[in-house]
A and B are shown apart, each in its own frame.
Chain A
Amino acid sequence: MTVTTSKSAYALGLQDGFPFIIAVIPFAVLFGVVATEAGLDLLQVLSFSVVVIAGAAQFTALQLMIEEAPTLIILVTALAVNLRMAMYSASLTPYLGDAPLLTRAFVSYFLVDQSYACSIVRFEENPEWSTATRVSYFFGAITLVCPMWYVMTVVGALIGTSLPEWLALDFAVPITFLALIAPMLRTIPHLAAAVTSIVLALVFAFLPYNLGLLIAAVSAMAIGAELERRT
C-alpha cells in the first residue's frame, strides 16, 4: 500500500492500531475491576487511565497503594516501569523531531507500547514519508487504542467482575506484542537483540523497580548496534 497523503496515512494507522484493541479491552476492564475493588471511585478510576495512560504502571501503582507502600516508593516504582518510554521517545525523535512543539507534546502523551511499536515499523518501511504524514499515521494508530483504554476501564469499574477466566485474556497482551515483534526480526542484529532482551529480562527479573527490563533493553540495543557496525 502506497501512502502519500496524510489522510491515507491516518487510515493506515487506524488499520494497524485495530488489532491492539483485542488486548487493550480485557486489560482495561481488569484495571477497572481491580481499582474499584481496591476502593477507588469511578472518577478516580477514569482519571487514572486518562492522566497516566500506561497499563503496567497503573497496575504497579495500584498494587503498591493496596500494600500501603510509602508514596515516594509508589511513584518511583511506577515511573521506573515507564522508563522504557524514554527509549521510545528517543527512537521516534529522528522521525518526528521537526513537528511543532504542541504536536510533539500530544504525541508524547499518546506514546504507549502499541502506538510506538506500529509507528516505528511503518516509519522504517517508508523513509520518504514527511513529518506531517508520520504524525497523521501516529494519531491514526492511537485513535482506537487510547479511547478504548479509557472507556473500558470505566466499563470494568461499573461491571465490577473480570471477564471469565477460561478466556485467558491475560495472554492477549503478550500475544499481540509477539505478533508485532515477529516481523521485526528481519536481520541478524535484530534477532540477536531480541534474544538478548528475552534472556536478560528473564535472568534479571528478580531486580526491583523493573530494572531487569532496562538492563535487558540497553544491553540488547548495544548488541544490535555492535553487530550492525561490524557488518
Chain B
Amino acid sequence: MIADDGLVWTVIFALGAGSFLIRFSFLGIVGRRPLPEWLLRHLRYTAVAVLPGLVAPLIFWPEATGGELDPARLLAAGFTVILGLLTRNILAAIMGGLSTLYIVQIALRLI
C-alpha cells in the first residue's frame, strides 16, 4: 500500500511535466527549422526501430505466463504479422491474431 499522498501527487506532476517535455523536445524547440539530411534519414526508421523492440519482450516473455515462452502467444503473434503483411488491414490483423490466441489456448486445454 502506498500511504503517502504527497509522494503520489509529486510523482504524478513531476512525471507529467517530464513526459511532456520529452514529447515537446523536438516539436517545440526545433519547430520549422530544417533538420540535417543524415538525421532525417535516421528518423525515417524511428517507427520500425522503436515499436518492434517495445513489443518483442512482451511476446517472448509475457508477464501473464510468468515470463515463460507461450506457444499460443507466439502463434498469435506470428499470425498477426502475416495477416498485417498480406492484408495491410490493421483491424483484420488484430482480430485474426486475437482469434488465433483464443483458438490455440482452447485447443491446448482440450489436449
Contact = CB atoms under 8 A, between A and B. Distances in A.
Contact of B15 (A61, A98, A193): A61
A217 B22 contact: no
B12 A183 contact: no
Contacts of A83: 22
Given A104-B31, A175-B76, A120 B47 contact: yes
Contacts of A65: 2, 7-8, 11
B42 A117 contact: no
A4 interface: no
A51 B16 CA distance: 5
B64 A89 contact: no
B48 to A, nearest CB: 5
Interface residues of A, number: 99
Give the dominant DSSP class at A's interface: helix
Give the dominant DSSP class at B's interface: helix
B43 interface: yes
A61 B84 CA distance: 33
A96 interface: yes
B28 A44 contact: no
Given A84-B54, A96-B27, A166-B105, A176 B45 contact: no
Nearest to B33: A97
Interface string B2-13: 110101111111
Contacts of A84: 50, 54
Given A79-B18, A79-B19, A105-B28, A178 B44 contact: no
Contacts of B35: 90, 93-94
Given A170-B64, A201-B57, A225-B41, 14 more contacts: A66-B2, A71-B7, A79-B19, A89-B27, A108-B27, A111-B23, A168-B102, A179-B84, A182-B81, A193-B48, A198-B56, A201-B52, A220-B50, A220-B52
Interface of A: 16, 18-19, 22, 38-40, 44, 47-48, 51-54, 57-58, 61, 65-66, 71, 74-75, 78-79, 82-94, 96-98, 101, 104-105, 107-109, 111, 113, 116-117, 120-121, 124, 165-166, 168, 170-185, 189-191, 193-198, 200-202, 205, 212-213, 216-225, 228-229
